[in-house]
Amino acid sequence: MLIEQLINGITLGSIYAIVALGFTLVFGVLGIINMAHGEIFMFGAFIGVVVTATFKGPLWLAFLAAILVTAAMGYMLERFALRPLRSKQGVSHLAPLISTIGVSILLENLSHHLFGPGNHPFRASFAEISFQIGSITVYLVQIVIFIISVLLMYALSFWLGKTKAGKALRATAENLETASLLGVDVKRTITMTVIIASAMGGIAGILVGMAFNSVTPQMGLSIGLKGLAIIILGGMGNVKGAMAGGLILGLAETFVVVYGNSGYKDAIAFVAIIVILLIRPQGLFGQKISA
């Protein structure tokens, strides 16, 4: 029982971690909280539903389609909602936040019209396959989700740490102007960051669809808000913090459902951020920044 719940928590947590990574990348580079990330994630999940359920396509095709569509959405987001604000002088620092809230509202209601408001089942061909290890039941889906998340996180860490583009991204995150002076194509780096973050959201969307077997237009909001909570928990713009924060939240929610009141599951994330911002505003893994 305990170990099963632990596995459930880790599965949920690794999905949260991927969602949070999308937030944290954009925040790290642009200093912007992308409120539309949850909705892009939800679109990824719906693309998965459309490919696997409506067109009876294979799962890899669903992943590919979701990545392409969400990457395109990421580009549009950057091009139409974020870039016009960057070139302007004297725009309040809240403007990009409000602008992405606009995108999130637009996308949520667009999906209402495109896919309908109801609950869409997500049929992965191996959803019912499970293993029995002693008294513990482990579903294949959970293992797949976990492996994909770990691979994704590893790939992202490698890309950020070792490749030229990743270094350019980190330099831009450090200081936009200096990076630009040192020959980094800042505009391209920013666009790329938003696209990669969105594509990761798309992948996470399919994983959630697989894990919970349900996709609704409202899921973007709730997961998006949780992703937000996680990056605050782990420290804004901190990649490792986002991963750890995701796992912590996933485990906490699972155990509240098991040992407490499941209705309050969705409140944990927010109680956590309110507490963490008041006690340790730099996040659990963040470094103290002197103002």
Partner 1 sequence: MLAELINPYHLQVASFILINIILGVSIYITLSTGQLSLANAGFMGIGAYTSALLTLNFDLPIIVGILAGTLMAGLFGIIIGIPTLRLQGVYLAIVTLGFGEVIRVIFVNWESLTKGAVGLSGIPHMGREILKTLKGFGFDPKVFGLQNNQFVFLTIFLLLLVITISIIMFFRRQNRSRVGRAFAAIKLDEKAAESMGINITYYKVLAFAQGALVAGFAGTLFAHVLAYISPADFAYHRAVEILIFAVFGGSEVIWGPVFGALFLTVMPEVLRFISEYRYMIYGLIIIIMMAVRPQGLIDVNILNWIKLKTSKRRQKHGTSSQKSM
Residue 36 or 168: the one with the smaller Cβ distance to partner 1 is: 36
136: enclosing H helix or E strand: strand 136-139
Q: Work out whether 288 is an interface residue with partner 1 (CB under 8 A).
A: no
Question: Closest distance between partner 1 and the C-beta of residue 107, in Å?
Answer: 7
> For residue 258, which amino acid is it?
V
Question: Rounded CA gap, 92 and 94, in Å?
Answer: 5
Of 100, 79, 90, the C-alpha closest to 32 is 100
Q: Of residues 6, 53, 97, 127, which one binds partner 1 by CB under 8 A?
A: 97
Question: Rounded CA gap, 186 and 193, in Å?
Answer: 10
Of 235, 229, 236, the C-alpha closest to 252 is 229
Footprint of partner 1 on 239-278 (CB under 8 A): 261, 263-264, 266-267, 269-271, 273-274, 277-278
Q: Of residues 148, 203, 232, 242, which one binds partner 1 by CB under 8 A?
A: 232
The CA distances from residue 111 to 106, 215, 270, in Å, are 9, 11, 26
Q: Work out whether 134 is an interface residue with partner 1 (CB under 8 A).
A: no
What would the x/- binding string for partner 1 be over residues 100 to 119, using CB under 8 A? Answer: -xxxxxxxxxx--x------
Rg of the chain on CA atoms, in Å: 19
Stretch of 158-166, 182-190, 224-232, 249-257 lying at the interface with partner 1 (CB under 8 A): 224-232
Q: Work out whether 135 is an interface residue with partner 1 (CB under 8 A).
A: no
Residue 138 or 258: the one with the smaller Cβ distance to partner 1 is: 258
- ∠ CA 191-38-145, nearest 5°, is 95
Residue 141 or 232: the one with the smaller Cβ distance to partner 1 is: 232
Size of the site for partner 1 (CB under 8 A): 44
Q: Work out whether 94 is an interface residue with partner 1 (CB under 8 A).
A: yes
**Chain centroid, CA 130 distance in Å:** 27
Q: Work out whether 228 is an interface residue with partner 1 (CB under 8 A).
A: yes
Q: Work out whether 85 is an interface residue with partner 1 (CB under 8 A).
A: yes
How many other C-beta atoms lie within 10 A of the C-beta of residue 189?
A: 22
Return the axis-axis angle of helices 186-212 and 140-162, rounded to nearest 10°: 170
DSSP state of 263: G
Q: Work out whether 80 is an interface residue with partner 1 (CB under 8 A).
A: yes
Q: Of residues 136, 138, 225, 258, which one binds partner 1 by CB under 8 A?
A: 225
Question: Rounded CA gap, 235 and 240, in Å?
Answer: 9
Q: Work out whether 136 is an interface residue with partner 1 (CB under 8 A).
A: no
Footprint of partner 1 on 47-66 (CB under 8 A): none
Q: Work out whether 24 is an interface residue with partner 1 (CB under 8 A).
A: no
Adjacent-strand bridge partners of 137: 132
Question: Closest distance between partner 1 and the C-beta of residue 99, in Å?
Answer: 4
The CA distances from residue 268 to 1, 6, 42, 167, in Å, are 22, 17, 21, 35
Interface contacts to partner 1, rule CB under 8 A? 33, 80-81, 84-85, 88, 91-99, 101-110, 113, 221, 225, 228-229, 232, 261, 263-264, 266-267, 269-271, 273-274, 277-278, 281
